[in-house]
A and B are shown apart, each in its own frame.
Chain A
Amino acid sequence: MTCVDMIFWYVMAAVAVVLLVAAVTIVVGRRNAVPPAPVTPELAPAEEPTGTPAEPVEAPADAGAALETPEPPASRLTRLRRRLSASNNPFARGLLGLLSADRLDAEAWEDLEATLITSDLGVGPTDELITGLRRELAVDGASDPDRARKVLRTELLTLVGTEADRSLRVTGADGLPGVVLVVGVNGTGKTTTIGKLARVLVAEGHSVVLAAADTFRAAAADQLQTWGSRVGVPVVRGPEGGDPASVAFDAVERGIAEGVDVVVVDTAGRLHTKTGLMDELGKIKRVIERKAPVTEVLLVIDATTGQNGLAQARVFAEVVDVTGIVLSKLDGSAKGGIVVPVQRELGVPVKLIGLGEGPDDLAPFEAEGFVDALLAES
């Protein structure tokens, strides 16, 4: 029996159940003598063939006069350290407090587990970390806090991973521009991240074009335009509600024609469960690749996200082959522990971290720096 058969039964069952549900609704509805529930047919935007050409919009000509000079990225990590340690990080403190106790009893281990879970690390990685710590510390006791800290640091580093390549691939081959596609669910900070990223790229001396392929959310293109004009980067935009793939295509085409170094494509936020929208995303990538290969796909994950982050990453990785993660909003009280299971399962490294709404609050992710910042005493 072929696989098709098996699938067929599932589909049939789903159809049948849904038909039954429809019948129940109808029967019950009739019994109640109320009109049937209004039906709002939902159109998957991907199916709207709106091939309206995107109109490139120039950055205001006078933008050059008011251009801001972005802070060099190198000095940012220092700030990250300061900020992470200043944000009353109970994660780091809790761990150190626990580990410097003379003896680790069952209760202490439980608290330690609790602390890790509270940082959204997930149950799996937490167990792994605890087991690792226990094994290491069993060898020569845990009386020495320094030793405990060293072990903890090593274990955390193993979890976060140091081998991964965390550099952004922003240069294309054969004179083509590097194309960076930024994706994520709604409200994680994609547009803001792109705004900051554009500044970083400009500061590093790259020429940049932004593509406002978020044609769905109200005023998303304007938001990107504002970011772009601050650093004199042109934004290619299309009509609201237009085909995002065509905007992305136009931007890349323009990038090639003008010989710019990097094209950064902003996409509309979409929940990973919306099949139609995920198809649309796949289409955006496919359409871009007709002009130039996409060199980097960044998935933006909000640091406050819980275990659902893993489900998000899984689906996005499947649809557009995510190559890097941006952990945004790390300046709050959330620890962003969710990136650990994400990185572990998908092998996609965290490349950038967002630290606030300021224009320069974007820093490269550095496993050692990150872990050190977590462990730094306030």
Chain B
Amino acid sequence: MFDTLSDRLSAAFRNLRGKTRLTDADIDATAREIRLALLEADVNLNVVKEFIGNVRERAKGAEIHAALNPAQQIVKIVDEELVSILGGEARPLRFAKRPPTVIMLAGLQGSGKTTLAGKLGKWLKDQGHSPLLVAADLQRPNAVTQLQVVGDRAGVHVYAPEPGNGVGDPVAVARNSILQAMSKLYDVVIVDTAGRLGVDAELMRQAADIRDAVSPTEILFVVDAMIGQDAVNTAQAFADGVGFDGVVLSKLDGDARGGAALSIARVTGKPIMFASNGEGLGDFDAFHPDRMASRILGMGDILTLIEQAEKTFDAEQSAKAAQKLIAGKGEFGLDDFLQQMQAVRRMGPLSKILGMMPGMGQMKDQINNIDEREIDRIEAIIYSMTPAERTNPKILDGSRRARIAAGSGTKVSDVNSLVNRFFEARKMMQSLAGGMPGMPGVRRPAAKQQAKKKKGNHKVSGNPAKRSGGPAAAPEPTAAPASAFGQMPSEADLAKAVGDFQLPPELQQLFNPKNTGPR
């Protein structure tokens, strides 16, 4: 696993304290780290070079901020540069003055055009438009059928006069679809074209012909977030061959860093308009440059975590569990814990979730060593309890524990430690839940945070890195500037609250027992 940029920079700056100004030498030292981080994220090499040039320019002679150490400062500059490139010219979808609005989708094979057509169709329909999907991919076997099924699911009509599988002329289909839309009063036409390679001149000409036949209002270039260095060549080929007005990044629900987004935005100057992040028809969202920037840098991405949580969690259930916890009185039982734990697991491997939390970078090694099967064991232990025991673990006496151990194939000591830990953790969580109403803004006295979190005014040396051989604590990934959320006012507050969000000290303590305890 490669470390995040902030870890790397911290290492590079370890011997660099007490300076008031970043010198050229300091900046050179970081340039290679930034380069590696971006290359690992699949940002194109030329883009990386240019980008570093910009960062160098900005960092040169920049005053060292009182509250930031040099590494944090560089990270901040890098982050801001990333956001400015990625979010360069965000704009909403254009609609034609005289309907129908024509949206043409183009991209490589397997980038997700057909699926996107369905999502876009549903999205537009939900906004009160009446979209028509056009099956102009007559190349791939049964692409037409796929579009029909997708259209069916989205509740959107599909114009598919040709059976596909190599039969029919996509240009004619596209042309006729406009007439069809005009006569049947559809106000948006979404043309799904066949996947094609940038180097395939013949198919590229065909795409241009389709474009000329329908004169689209928007041509969207659909690209897989996992694409590597070739993104630039491909994007350039499509920009030259058909030209496009916006980019859609697909498959963002994976764990690709998505550096290609940066390359494409930089090289073509076209805005990234949408992000597609799932297989459901509703998994489709506007693009958030600030989140993408954190993602490319491999920083914690708490906003995405929240979104995933919202998606996979039963909000009511979680709220109830949280309330039980706040209420104290030992109402939060093992059954609630189990429920929440399972909900957490549905979001993905635990290591990934923990990795998304800010400030976890320093524990990367431990996190990566998590064996998910251990969690199965915890589940097994809890499953071996009766419902009454789960709601009130206090009733667990010796014989019950022996039964549970036998039932779950573990040892009594395992059951004991689970139960004890649970009580301890519950106490901790309750004490921190005490401050919950005002939680977002809550900042505990710095002294309490020394073990894990470094506030701005902390010196690195003030961090007695409890962990044996622990590297200098990573700077807390600077939360994305709230202003970047301008387009989503309802989320602005949330973003701000999260910007202030730190793991509360009690929670940080959670990670300590294993260090202090006999292993």
Q: For the complex formed, measure the closest distance between the CB of B428 and the CB atoms of chain A, giving whole angstroms.
A: 8
Tell me if B413 is interfacial: C-beta within 8 Å of chain A.
yes
Given known A20-B504, A28-B440, A331-B197, contact A114–B498 (CB-CB < 8 A): no
Stretch touching chain A among B50-58, B184-192, B417-425: B417-425
Q: How far is the CB of B348 from chain A (nearest CB, A)?
A: 5
The residue in chain A whose Cβ has the minimal distance to the Cβ of B227 is A304
Is the Cβ of B315 less than 8 Å from the Cβ of A22? yes
A-chain residues with CB within 8 Å of residue B253 when the two chains form the complex: 271, 273-274
A3 touches B371 (CB 8 A): yes
User: How many chain A residues touch B (Cβ–Cβ < 8 Å)?
Assistant: 90
Contact B142 A40 (CB under 8 A): no
Contact across chains for B45 and A118 when beta carbons are under 8 A apart: yes
Name which residue of chain B comes closest to A188, CB basis. B110
Known: A87-B199, A186-B112. A123 touches B375 (CB 8 A): no
A 39-51 binary contact with B (CB < 8 Å = 1; else 0)? 1111010000000
Q: Give the segment of B94-102, B211-219, B458-466, B510-518 that binds chain A.
A: B510-518
Which of A7, A32, A119 is within 8 Å of B229, CB to CB?
A119
Whether B493 pairs with A31 at a CB distance below 8 angstroms is yes
Chain A min CB distance to B91 (Å): 25
Chain A contacts of B150 at CB under 8 A? 218
- Mark out the residues of chain A between 74 and 124 whose CB falls within 8 Å of any chain B CB in the assembled complex: 87-88, 114, 117-120, 123
Query: In the assembled complex, which residues on chain A have CB atoms less than 8 Å from the CB atom of B513?
Result: 5, 9
A residues in contact with B315, CB < 8 Å? 22, 25, 36-37, 39
Q: What string of 1s and 0s marks CB contacts (under 8 Å) between A237-265 and chain B?
A: 00010000000000000000000000000
Cα-based distance from A276 to B345 in the complex (angstroms):
9
A365 to chain B, nearest CB (A): 19
Judging by beta carbons under 8 Å apart, are A217 and B348 in contact?
no
In angstroms, Cα B222 to Cα A187, docked, is 12
CB pair A273 B348 closer than 8 Å: yes
B153: CB under 8 A from chain A? Answer: yes
Complex CA distance for A2 and B302, rounded to whole angstroms:
30
Contact B313 A18 (CB under 8 A): yes
Q: Does A357 contact B (CB under 8 A)?
A: yes
CB-CB contacts below 8 Å: B466-511 with A: 490, 493-494, 497-498, 501, 503-504, 507, 510-511
Query: Contact flags (1/0) for B243-257 with A, using CB distance below 8 Å?
Result: 000000001011111
Query: CB-CB < 8 A to B153: which residues of A?
Result: 218
Question: Using Cβ atoms and an 8 Å threshold, which residues of chain B touch A275?
Answer: 345-346, 348-349
Whether the Cβ atoms of B251 and A271 lie closer than 8 Å is yes
- 16 more contacts with CB within 8 A, not counting A8-B417, A333-B199, A357-B109, are A4-B417, A5-B513, A5-B514, A17-B503, A28-B440, A40-B280, A117-B39, A123-B39, A218-B153, A222-B145, A223-B141, A275-B349, A304-B227, A305-B224, A307-B42, A329-B109
6 A–B contact pairs at CB < 8 A? A7-B377, A19-B340, A271-B251, A303-B230, A307-B40, A307-B256
Residues on A lying within 8 angstroms of B by beta carbon are 1-29, 31-32, 34, 36-37, 39-42, 44, 87-88, 114, 117-120, 123, 185-189, 192, 195, 216-220, 222-223, 225-227, 240, 271-276, 302-309, 311-312, 329, 331-335, 337-338, 357
